[in-house]
Structure 1
Amino acid sequence: MNQLKIKKSEVKLELISEKKLPNSADRTVIVIPKYTINEKDEYNNYYFELDEYIIVANNVTGEILYKFYQPNAWTSDAVMLSSIEIDTGLYNLNRKHRAFGIRVNYIGSSRANPYNQTVLSLFIEENNILKQVLKNLTISEFRGEWDTNCAGEFENNNSIISIDKMQSENFNNLIVKTIKTETINIPTNEDCVEKKKIHTTLKKLKYNGTEYK
């Protein structure tokens, strides 16, 4: 933060995240969320907006090697930003580039209308900069509306990313497999009957020279 000239008081400290890169043992990814707005709304709930700093630093010296900055990247209001996680899965986009991911988790505040969401972004090191090649792909989302007792409808979507053998602009395509579960709860006598429908879809994302679309 000293290198970035950011004060400790300007940072949402509980959302800071860091993780060593398994393919570069001398390097660590660090997420620093900096306040642009931090206040309470008319209902006395906290509302904040955050600038996004993604850092790759040397483990020994602490030197910042690469940096990504996005102003006003994250907002937390009725749907609260609950956590930020670093994903070091096997995102091998080609022989040269292995990406790492940033997962941002949100959760709703309504019991009658439950909601949560996780979005994923992918980053690579290219030409001495940190580049975002996938932006805020929703990989899980749950929503519903019910009477807080039984009757209601819910939808749950969960996605898995796999690496395709085919390439676009010398980057492997990404295959996104999404499983959607639709649930209806029906009160019957003194019981609550649950009915489910499950659907699976596949989507291919191609690199266009700048990002995956």
Structure 2
Amino acid sequence: SSDDGHVGDIELLVVDRNSLQVRQRLLQPGLIADDAIAIRKIEFDTGRYRLAPGVMALGLRIEIANHSQANPFSETDLRLYVLAGDALRLVLDGLVVAGNGGEGDTNCAGSFHSTEVSLAMSPTSHHGYHDIVALERTQTDDPSPDKDGECQSHPGKPMNRTYRLRYDGSRYPVPEVLKVMGP
């Protein structure tokens, strides 16, 4: 904790359902931080991320946002972990799967965007793990008042981009445009 905000660690534990003994643990130092952009939510992602036969990844989502009406910002990032032998390993570090932002006058006029990313496992593999196909869909809106002063939406044409994440033997490198803003 400091005048600028808070920084914290996350520790993931894998616990045996029957004995309640901790089987694996992984400390992620400094993974969570809040200041002008605060943490809204931390949750497990229950998606079926089958990276290889017998290898299912565990997802962790962290959502951050500011509280500005004039310059809104939010971002949800995803990390994927796998059980490898007797260890829990990070294999995808901080992929932005949702976000929005923009600039406005707090009354109506402005320029805003929102993005969602969906993931699918590709049949193609590298170093034993399937490639991950990330489909990014971005929508924009430039609202403005009409002649009667009523706020009117002016959406732009949605844009789609596709990225292929290839496992490099230890991690899935994240394309620069899909990397998280924070730690």
Q: TM-score, normalised by structure 2?
A: 0.90
The sequence identity of aligned pairs, in percent, is: 25
Structure-2 separation of matches of 1:96 and 1:67: 20
Structure of higher RCO (CA pairs closer than 8 Å, 6+ residues apart): 2
User: For residues 9 and 52 of structure 2, what CA distance do their matches in structure 1 show?
Assistant: 30
For residue 170 of structure 2, what is the aligned residue in structure 1?
Answer: 210
**d(CA) in 2 for partners of 1:133, 1:143:** 28
Matched, 1:61 2:19: yes
Q: Distance in 1 between matches of 2:166 and 2:30?
A: 27
Structure 1: distance between partners of 2:19 and 2:62: 28
Distance 2:143 2:91 in 1: 40
TM-score, normalised on structure 1?
0.77
**Other structure's SS at 1:116 match:** strand
Q: Secondary structure at the match of 2:48?
A: strand
In structure 2, the partner of 1:193 is: 152
Quick one: distance in 1 between partners of 2:27 and 2:144? 48
- 1:183 matched residue in structure 2: 141
Task: Identify the residue that residue 103 of structure 1 maps to in structure 2.
Answer: 61
For residue 96 of structure 1, report the CA deviation from its aligned partner: 2.0
The match for 2:95 is 137
- The structural deviation recorded for 1:40 is 4.7
Name the count of aligned residue pairs: 171
RMSD over aligned Cα atoms: 1.1
Gaps of 5+ in 1: 1-36, 42-46
Deviation of the 1:59 alpha carbon:
2.4
| 1:122 aligned residue | 80
Deviations, residues 160-184 of structure 1 (Å, cap 9, x unaligned): 0001010011110000001000110
Letter in 1 for 2:153: E
Identify the residue that residue 157 of structure 1 maps to in structure 2: 115
Following the alignment from structure 1 to structure 2, what is the Cα–Cα distance between the partners of residues 186 and 144?
Answer: 14
